[in-house]
């Protein structure tokens, strides 16, 4: 009987790997720096080795591994398993990653967009457990998104659905990394939050923030804003309220559109806890209809940095079972 699933989260900085039993118990995990500069061959070797290492640590023979799931930033094709390219990782061009790993490990391999994998992780084993309809927002340098509808990832015809960070919250607003203006990401990412703080200096005479970055605003980061807010600094607190307000506006639209049971927030920014969440909840409810708003909970993530690697495994199991069912019915 096949009993195990392996998840791999291929990030530009770290390569994370985990093995779980079929009943969703995490048995072993591994994290190693991604040697991205050495190119795809070296990275794929490291992925194969990491998968073998976690299997050995869990005393799981590879022929009892049901599937391997890989989450990667992409752009990629989740169906064909081809990575078109990887941001900040040189040499990746049309690499059939799923096929290569499947051949090397002798087990089916499935590729996912990393934000979708993290979303599925929270659904499968994190803050969304027991919920069938949910959305996930990952608040980092950008804002990643994922949506689960009746237990399945929302993918769209090209697999590009659920880019929640690029919901528009303001006409002619700030320029976003995607080239458009007024995206949620431009305000609710950590980068956006820091920008809000810097803009706020124009209307706040003094701030602890200026001291924390030694007067060099280019050095200002999310951690400093959080630290100053904890000390009660007026500008930092205002910055959090502003950021939470933008986030609440975006989430209000998500609630109206999807009618989810939960919206899960991931990323370092959620360490701010109620400082962020109270305003997010209040603004989101004020910006959606009463019925979807009443039941939807806005909650912090349950898996932290492991959502991606656990979700990659969960997605792989789901897709494996789907393929089996399809074949049985054919
Ligand atoms: Zn955008």
- φ, ψ at 139 (rounded to 5°): -95, 100
Residue 205's pLDDT is 75
Residue 20's pLDDT is 98
| 57 and 146 part of one domain | no
Residue 284's pLDDT is 98
The residue range of the domain holding 297 is: 132-301
- Give the Å distance between the CA of 185 and the centre of ligand 1: 6
In a domain, 152, yes or no: yes
Structure tokens at 14: 């770290």
- The neighbour count for residue 252, using CB atoms within 10 Å, is 22
- Give the Å distance between the CA of 304 and the centre of ligand 1: 24
Residue 1's pLDDT is 55
| 235 and 283 part of one domain | yes
In a domain, 127, yes or no: no
Per-run averaged pLDDT (10 residues), the chain, 330 residues: 89 95 95 95 98 97 96 94 92 97 97 95 97 96 95 94 96 95 97 96 86 92 95 96 98 98 94 94 98 97 95 96 87
CATH of the domain at 94: 3.30.420.40
Residue 204's pLDDT is 83
| 280 and 325 part of one domain | no
- Give the Å distance between the CA of 164 and the centre of ligand 1: 9
Structure tokens at 215: 């007067």
In a domain, 125, yes or no: no
The total number of structural domains that make up the chain: 2
| 180 and 279 part of one domain | yes
The angle that helices 190-200 and 222-230 make with each other, rounded to 10 degrees, is 60
- Give the Å distance between the CA of 186 and the centre of ligand 1: 7
CA distance 35 to 122: 27
- Give the Å distance between the CA of 56 and the centre of ligand 1: 42
Residue 251's pLDDT is 98
Q: How many Å separate Cα 291 from the centre of its chain?
A: 27
Residue 66's pLDDT is 95
The angle that helices 234-258 and 222-230 make with each other, rounded to 10 degrees, is 110
Residue 159 carries which DSSP code?
S
Global pTM value: 0.94
């Amino acid at each position: 009987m096949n009993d195990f699933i392996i998840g791999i989260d291929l990030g530009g900085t770290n390569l994370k790997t985990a093995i779980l039993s079929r009943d969703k118990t995490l048995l072993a995990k591994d994290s190693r720096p991604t040697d991205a500069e050495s190119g795809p061959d070296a990275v794929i070797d490291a992925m194969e080795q990491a998968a073998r290492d976690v299997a050995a640590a869990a005393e799981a023979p590879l022929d009892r591994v049901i599937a391997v799931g890989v989450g990667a930033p992409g752009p990629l094709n989740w169906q064909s398993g081809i990575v078109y390219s990887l941001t900040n990782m040189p040499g990746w061009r049309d690499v059939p990653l799923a096929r290569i790993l499947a051949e090397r490990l002798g087990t089916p391999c499935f590729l996912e967009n990393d934000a979708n994998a993290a979303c599925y992780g929270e659904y499968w084993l994190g803050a969304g457990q027991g919920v069938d309809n949910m959305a996930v927002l990952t608040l980092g340098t950008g804002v990643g998104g994922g949506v689960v509808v009746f237990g399945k990832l929302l993918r769209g015809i090209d697999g590009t659905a659920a880019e929640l960070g690029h919901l528009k919250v303001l006409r002619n607003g700030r320029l976003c990394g995607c080239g458009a203006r007024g995206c949620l990401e431009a305000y609710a990412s950590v980068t956006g939050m820091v920008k809000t703080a810097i803009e706020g200096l124009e209307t706040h005479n003094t701030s602890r923030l200026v001291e924390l970055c030694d007067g060099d605003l280019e050095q200002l980061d999310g951690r400093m804003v959080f630290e100053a807010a904890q000390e009660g600094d007026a500008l930092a607190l205002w910055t959090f309220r502003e950021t939470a307000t933008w986030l609440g506006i975006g989430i209000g639209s998500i609630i109206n559109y999807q009618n989810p049971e939960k919206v899960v927030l991931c990323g370092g920014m959620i360490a701010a806890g109620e400082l962020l969440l109270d305003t997010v909840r209040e603004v989101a409810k004020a910006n959606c209809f009463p019925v979807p708003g009443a039941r939807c909970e806005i909650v912090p993530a349950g898996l932290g940095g492991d959502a991606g690697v656990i979700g990659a495994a969960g997605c792989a199991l789901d897709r494996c079972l789907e393929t089996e069912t399809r074949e049985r019915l054919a």
